[in-house]
Amino acid sequence: MKKPVRIVGMLVGAATLITGVSIGATAETGPAPDSGFGHTEVRAGIPVKAKKFTLSSPDVREGGSIPPAAWANSFGCTGGNQQLRLEWRDAPPEARSFAVSMQDVDASTGSGFWHWMTWDIPATRTSLGNTPQANANAVSGTNDAGTRGYLGPCPPTGDINHRYKITVYALDVPGLDLAATSTPAVAAFTMSSHVIGYGRLTATARR
């Protein structure tokens, strides 16, 4: 009768690695803004030894504001919910696949808010567009709103300027063998031991 409790404990421990206080050797954490309430920085989920490569977007620059076309069209926002286009270069040549995520690290959840999680992107790709064909041969995972694919930003009215960390991960496996219904935390935890490189772009949104 104690076996289920042990399994639950293991799952809680795994989730803590993704959503807990920043500890251990990981690549990036960044400063916490003055949010008016307790702000806990989440763990990066990227090994320090992972090579950093160049990530850019035709839609938004590093530190820039996410354009209205890429905002959510739900939760009180009326944006276009158009997936941001991404381009990367100088990724590790031994990469066997890529994954992409976008996380609002300033969401008032204690664990951030995952807006986008896609994996099993072929290793031959160096960009991701915003058409239905953009995710061909890849798995569009579930975001924290419970829907598949990209969900644009929609921070609370009057809140701080939210930071959205958009990351492309180079992985040493051709696929993660995960169902598209897997939660973002489970997907991120699964890929964390396979990350050999990453590119990151941080953009912002406020209303």
Domain holding 15, by residue range, is 3-30+39-205
**Angle at which helices 184-192 and 3-19 cross, to 10°:** 80
* pLDDT average, residue stretch 85-95: 98
* pLDDT average, residue stretch 164-182: 97
**pLDDT per residue as tens digits for the range 108-164:** 888 899 999 999 999 999 999 988 777 888 999 999 999 999 999 999 999 999 999
Paired residues of 56 in beta bridges: 87
Domain count, the chain: 1
CATH code for position 9: 3.90.280.10
pLDDT (0 to 100) of residue 131:
84
The full 3-state SS of 136-194, as one line of letters, equals: CCCEECECCCCCECCCCCCCCCCCCCEEEEEEEEEECCCCCCCCCCCCHHHHHHHHHCC
**pLDDT per residue as tens digits for the range 110-121:** 889 999 999 999
